[in-house]
């Protein structure tokens, strides 16, 4: 079905065309003055300017040409030619009822349908996920949910950091602490042990020490480089050990992602693309895209010199992140046949992705594909610097999640929320509230902005917070549950009066919020819609005591409105990655 604004825009576009003006001036938007009207069309001013006519004359000609006048309660000209629009209450109610009966809740699918790869998360082997992974994970997951909801074919990919010199560092470090392991015996015939000789905690302890030692001791750095080279050349013991490193790291990452309710279609790492790099480089050299430069191989990406070339191969023959990222984009565009690849990565990587995209375009990889950097800001502490623990260390993601759940439980107890429920259920509700607090606090900000991490603020049950929206949804569930217990069922949605109009208008504008979130890759538009919807229901419920209403038809209509509201609010929260409890 068409969204309400699309339906109105179609009608006004036809009227503009009939009045002798370009139809694109018929765009209808929500009114900025709801006290005067519900919608407005401002195209008469631009159309009049282009035609050198009086704007009010053009506006009146459009109104005279407008068909389907039965949809409108009032149409008027204001100021120099603004068209004010108010719908008939019955039409608004019918449209909202159609939305409630639609599987997509009134959101038409995007056209054309595209295959979209969403690259987010990006943890590294041997390193715990930390607060720095929070925004990529939450934002990327919301985008994959939104794109799927709008009918796109989505493939999400974690792009695990599982290759490079850090692997050699770990191999050398383990060979010092456990030299008797068979992985270090070049003559060992195999098979190698199935059980990993290290845990992810061991790797987390080993890596910082190994990295610091390599920085201090050139000989140690050379040993790590040699181990990396042998790993990449396929030395069996090193490959077996590397697989263990990856397996224990992925298992730990899966736990963290699962705690956030996030999953991926692909768990490919940088290692997946390594075998394709030599062939890609040969292609680029033959095509004249890659050129030698001071012993290295580069792709010039800016003739004016404003952007440095993309470095593909170092003078020592080694590859860089840009090399792997270019090979990754090549596979996604040419083999996976994606139309769009979204990289949900810190905004500080903007130059890197600009280089990669320009190099990919020169290589011909982006003829049928678009690469896009979905940049985001940082999570900061009260001092305005990236958020850390009280001791100054980087906050692990699992510790952050636990803190959010603990703070949520504390807030619930202070307000007496779910206090009469069994402890296990309270803990389950606190988990959902804590995750909702983290996700909503992140996504309510435009992704490009930084924000200050404040758990006490995030877990409040009022205002623009995740807990507030969960409580709003649970309240509607409670009303519908009590109605069902009393044998009361939703019925036909009656024409809107002043009491229902605000809620119906909020419901009707869901497709616009989803479309804006998609257009700007910015779920904050969904957060704004959820807040508006929750507030609109609160205002409606204050005036309309649903279960106490004596008129059966009116009560059934209000129950229907509550049902549609709950379905839409839960869907918006789901698109934000937020799960709603059944009760509180």
What is the structure's pLDDT at 386?
A: 79
What is the spatial order of strands in the sheet that 370-376 belongs to? 153-157, 115-119, 340-346, 370-376
CB atoms within 10 A of CB 387: 21
Beta-bridge mates of residue 376: 346
Q: Coil, helix or strand for 311?
A: strand
Q: What is the pLDDT of residues 408-438, one digit of tens each?
A: 999 999 999 888 999 999 999 999 999 999 9
pLDDT band at 392 (very low <50, low <70, confident <90, very high): low
276 and 371 belong to one structural domain: yes
275 and 254 belong to one structural domain: no
User: Which stretches does DSSP call E strand in 414-453?
Assistant: 451-452
Q: Which of 238, 259, 280 is the last residue of a domain?
A: 259
Terminal-residue alpha carbon distance, the chain: 35
274 and 251 belong to one structural domain: no
260 DSSP 8-state letter: T
Contact of 480 with 116, CB cutoff 8 Å: no
What is the structure's pLDDT at 443?
A: 98
What is the structure's pLDDT at 389?
A: 67
Q: What is the pLDDT of residues 318-357, one digit of tens each?
A: 888 999 999 999 999 999 999 999 999 999 999 999 999 9
251 and 169 belong to one structural domain: yes
What is the structure's pLDDT at 387?
A: 82
Q: What is the pLDDT of residues 68-120, one digit of tens each?
A: 999 999 999 999 899 999 999 999 999 999 999 999 999 999 999 999 999 99
203 and 177 belong to one structural domain: yes
Contact of 584 with 527, CB cutoff 8 Å: no
Query: Measuring CA to CA, which residue among 61, 85, 60 is closest to residue 73?
Result: 85
Q: Tokens for 15?
A: 């009227």
Percent of the chain whose pLDDT exceeds 90: 88
361 and 319 belong to one structural domain: yes
Q: Is the pLDDT of residue 391 over 70?
A: no
Flag whether 551 is in a domain: no
Flag whether 583 is in a domain: no
What is the structure's pLDDT at 181?
A: 96
252 and 187 belong to one structural domain: yes
Flag whether 346 is in a domain: yes
275 DSSP 8-state letter: G
228 and 277 belong to one structural domain: no
Flag whether 131 is in a domain: no
Give the torsion sign (CA, 492, 498, 501, 503).
negative
Give the torsion sign (CA, 374, 380, 386, 391).
negative
296 and 250 belong to one structural domain: no
- Whole-prediction pTM: 0.94
Beta-bridge mates of residue 104: none
Average pLDDT over residues 28-47: 94
Average pLDDT over the chain, rounded to an integer: 94
What is the structure's pLDDT at 394?
A: 77
Interstrand relation of 451-452 and 379-380 (parallel, antiparallel or unpaired): parallel
pLDDT band at 190 (very low <50, low <70, confident <90, very high): confident
What is the structure's pLDDT at 434?
A: 97
**Domain total in the chain:** 3
243 and 172 belong to one structural domain: yes
Flag whether 71 is in a domain: yes
232 and 308 belong to one structural domain: no
Flag whether 128 is in a domain: no
Flag whether 215 is in a domain: yes
Q: What is the pLDDT of residues 512-534, one digit of tens each?
A: 999 999 999 999 999 999 999 99
Q: What is d(CA 69, CA 75) in angstroms, rounded to the nearest whole number? A: 9
Q: Which residues span the domain enclosing 69?
A: 4-87
Q: Which of 36, 68, 87 is the last residue of a domain?
A: 87
Query: What are the CB-based long-range contacts (under 8 Å, 24+) for 495-502?
Result: 495/88, 495/89, 495/90, 495/92, 495/93, 496/89, 496/92, 496/93, 497/89, 499/540, 499/543, 499/544, 500/93, 500/540, 500/544, 500/558, 500/561, 501/89, 501/92, 502/536, 502/539, 502/540
Q: What is the pLDDT of residues 166-176, one digit of tens each?
A: 999 999 999 99
316 and 240 belong to one structural domain: no
Read off the CATH number of the domain in which 41 is found. Answer: 3.30.1360.70
Q: Which of 37, 63, 87 is the last residue of a domain?
A: 87
Average pLDDT over residues 214-235: 92
Flag whether 309 is in a domain: yes
Cα dihedral 494/500/505/510 (nearest 10): -80
Q: What is the pLDDT of residues 281-311, one digit of tens each?
A: 999 999 999 999 999 999 999 866 689 999 9
């Amino acid at each position: 079905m068409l969204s309400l604004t699309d339906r109105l825009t179609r009608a006004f576009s036809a009227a503009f065309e009939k009045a002798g003006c370009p139809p694109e001036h018929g765009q209808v938007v929500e009114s900025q003055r709801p006290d005067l009207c519900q919608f407005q069309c401002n195209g008469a001013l631009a159309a009049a300017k282009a035609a050198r006519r009086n704007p009010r004359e053009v506006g009146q000609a459009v109104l005279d040409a407008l068909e389907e006048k039965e949809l409108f309660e009032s149409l008027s000209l204001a100021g120099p030619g603004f068209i004010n629009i108010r719908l008939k209450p019955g039409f608004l109610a019918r449209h909202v009822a159609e939305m409630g009966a639609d599987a997509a809740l009134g959101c038409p699918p995007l056209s054309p349908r595209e295959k979209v790869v969403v690259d987010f998360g990006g943890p590294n082997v041997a390193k715990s996920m930390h607060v720095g992974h929070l925004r990529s994970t939450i934002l990327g997951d919301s985008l994959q949910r939104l794109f799927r909801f709008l009918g796109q074919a989505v493939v999400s990919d974690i792009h695990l950091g599982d290759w490079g010199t850090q692997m050699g560092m770990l191999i050398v470090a383990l060979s010092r602490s456990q030299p008797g392991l068979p992985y270090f015996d070049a003559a060992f015939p195999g098979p190698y042990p199935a059980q990993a000789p290290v845990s992810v905690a061991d790797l987390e302890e080993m890596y910082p020490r190994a990295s610091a030692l390599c920085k201090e001791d050139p000989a140690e750095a050379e040993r790590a480089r040699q181990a990396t080279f042998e790993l990449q050349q396929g030395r069996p013991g090193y490959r077996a050990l590397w697989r263990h490193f990856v397996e224990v790291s992925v298992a730990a990452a899966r736990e963290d992602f699962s705690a956030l309710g996030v999953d991926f279609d692909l768990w490919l790492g940088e290692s997946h693309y390594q075998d394709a790099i030599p062939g890609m480089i040969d292609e680029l050299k033959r095509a004249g895209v890659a050129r030698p430069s001071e012993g290295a191989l580069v792709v010039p990406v800016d003739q004016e010199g404003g952007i440095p070339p993309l470095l593909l191969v170092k003078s020592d023959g080694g590859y860089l992140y840009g090399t792997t990222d270019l090979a990754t984009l090549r596979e996604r565009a040419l083999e996976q046949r994606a139309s769009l690849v979204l990289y949900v990565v810190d905004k500080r990587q903007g130059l890197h992705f600009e280089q990669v995209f320009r190099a990919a375009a020169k290589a011909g990889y982006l003829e049928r594909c678009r690469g896009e950097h979905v940049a985001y800001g940082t999570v900061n502490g009260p001092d305005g610097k990236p958020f850390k623990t009280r001791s100054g260390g980087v906050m692990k993601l699992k510790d952050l999640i636990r803190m959010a759940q603990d703070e949520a439980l504390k807030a619930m107890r202070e307000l007496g929320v779910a206090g009469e429920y069994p402890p296990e259920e309270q803990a389950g509700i606190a988990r959902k509230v804590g995750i909702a607090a983290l996700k909503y606090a992140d996504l309510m900000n435009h992704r490009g902005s930084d924000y200050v991490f404040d758990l006490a603020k995030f877990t409040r049950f009022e205002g623009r917070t995740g807990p507030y929206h969960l409580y709003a949804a649970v309240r509607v569930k409670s009303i519908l549950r009590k109605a069902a217990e009393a044998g009361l069922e939703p019925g036909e949605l009656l024409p809107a009066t002043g009491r229902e109009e605000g809620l119906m208008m909020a419901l009707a504008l869901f497709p616009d919020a989803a479309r804006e979130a998609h257009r700007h890759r910015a779920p904050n538009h969904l957060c704004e819609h959820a807040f508006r919807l929750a507030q609109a229901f609160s205002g409606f419920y204050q005036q309309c005591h649903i279960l106490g209403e004596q008129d059966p038809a009116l009560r059934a209509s209000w129950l229907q409105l509550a049902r549609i509201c709950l379905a839409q609010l839960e869907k918006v929260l789901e698109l934000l990655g937020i799960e709603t409890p059944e009760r509180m």
